[in-house]
Amino acid sequence: MERNGPGLEYKVSWRQRGVEADWNEETVKKHSLTLRNTPTFVPYEIKVQAVNNLGSGPEPNVTIGYSGEDVPDAAPSGVSVDVVNSTLVKVFWFGIPRDRVRGHLKGYKVSWWKTKSMLDGKRHHPEKHFLTFVGDRNYGMIPGLEPFSEFRLSVLAYNAKGDGPESSPVVFETPEGVNETHEIGPLNDVSVTNRSTLSWRLSGLSPSTKYKFYVKACTVKGCGKPVTEEGLTMAQGSKGIGKITEAVKPTQKFHPIEALEPGTDYTVRLVTKNWVDNNSIFEDVIETRGRGVSLFCSDSDEKPLKGSLQSINGDIKATESADSLVDYGEGEHGMFNEDGSFIGAYSGSKEKGSVESTGSSTATFPLHA
Same domain, residue pair 50 and 30 = yes
Task: Look at residues 173, 208, 238 and tell me which one is the last residue of a structural domain.
Answer: 173
State residue 124's pLDDT score: 74
State residue 126's pLDDT score: 79
State residue 22's pLDDT score: 94
Same domain, residue pair 84 and 169 = yes
Same domain, residue pair 88 and 49 = no
pTM of the model: 0.50
Same domain, residue pair 28 and 90 = no
Tell me, yes or no, whether 123 lies in a domain: yes
Tell me, yes or no, whether 93 lies in a domain: yes
* 144 Rama class: left (phi>0) / alpha (psi -120 to 50) / beta: left
Tell me, yes or no, whether 298 lies in a domain: no
Same domain, residue pair 104 and 47 = no
State residue 300's pLDDT score: 40
Tell me, yes or no, whether 221 lies in a domain: no
CATH of residue 117? 2.60.40.10
Same domain, residue pair 121 and 90 = yes
Boundaries of domain holding 360: 9-67+353-366
Tell me, yes or no, whether 263 lies in a domain: no
Same domain, residue pair 17 and 56 = yes
Task: Look at residues 123, 138, 173 and tell me which one is the last residue of a structural domain.
Answer: 173
Same domain, residue pair 104 and 165 = yes
Same domain, residue pair 20 and 95 = no
Same domain, residue pair 107 and 57 = no
Task: Look at residues 113, 148, 173 and tell me which one is the last residue of a structural domain.
Answer: 173
Tell me, yes or no, whether 82 lies in a domain: yes
Same domain, residue pair 87 and 154 = yes
State residue 102's pLDDT score: 95
Tell me, yes or no, whether 138 lies in a domain: yes
- Render each residue's pLDDT in the chain as its tens digit; 369 residues: 566 778 899 999 999 999 999 999 999 999 999 999 999 999 999 999 999 999 999 999 999 999 999 999 999 999 999 999 999 999 999 999 999 999 999 999 999 999 998 888 778 777 899 999 999 999 999 998 999 999 999 999 999 999 999 999 999 999 987 654 444 567 788 888 888 888 888 888 877 677 778 888 888 888 887 777 777 776 555 555 556 677 777 666 667 776 666 767 677 777 665 544 445 556 666 767 654 444 444 444 333 333 333 333 333 333 333 344 556 666 644 444 333 333 333 333 333 333 444 444 444 444 444
Tell me, yes or no, whether 27 lies in a domain: yes
Give the count of domains, the chain: 2
